[in-house]
Amino acid sequence: SNQRLQKELKILAKDFADMPGCSAGPIDENLRHWEGIIIGPEGTPYAGGIFKLDIKFPDDYPYKAPKIKFATPIYHCNVNSAGNICLDILKDKWSPVLTVSKVILSICSLLSDPNPEDPLDPEVANLFKRDRNKHDEIAMEYTQRYAV
């Protein structure tokens, strides 16, 4: 699976070229532990923020999903206070044909397009549905405080 990770590193650049604002790579030569970076998408309350992801690959990767968490606090209905992310492809919809760049791109689009119907933080999801302006205000405050 180290070979697989080497290969993924090579295709990362190509994948991320289509989606500016995302990047990822190993921390200190350790192929099993990566850091991902997502720049908050324009037009969202996360705009201007730099969000770090902690990415750990299990020994049996790619047969098991990587463990990906937000290292930067973010106010989002699909991310809890521990940084865990509710994303089907990190759980039951994982498949070995997926790559870490595809997962990061999915996390990126979650920032543009939150899914309050499958929340990890029901309180944030309720506010998102009930009062989008207030939700966005709090999300912006978080971004300013933790991600800038």
Name the residues annotated as catalytic: 86
Tell the burial category of 117 from Cβ atoms under 10 Å away from its Cβ (0-12, 13-18, 19+). Answer: exposed
Judge contact between 54 and 35, C-beta under 8 A. yes
Which residues partner with 30 through β-bridges?
27
What is the spatial distance between Cα 24 and Cα 55, in angstroms, rounded to a whole number? 9
Strands (E) in the chain, as ranges, are: 22-27, 30-39, 50-56, 67-70
Residue matched to tokens 């405050």: 141
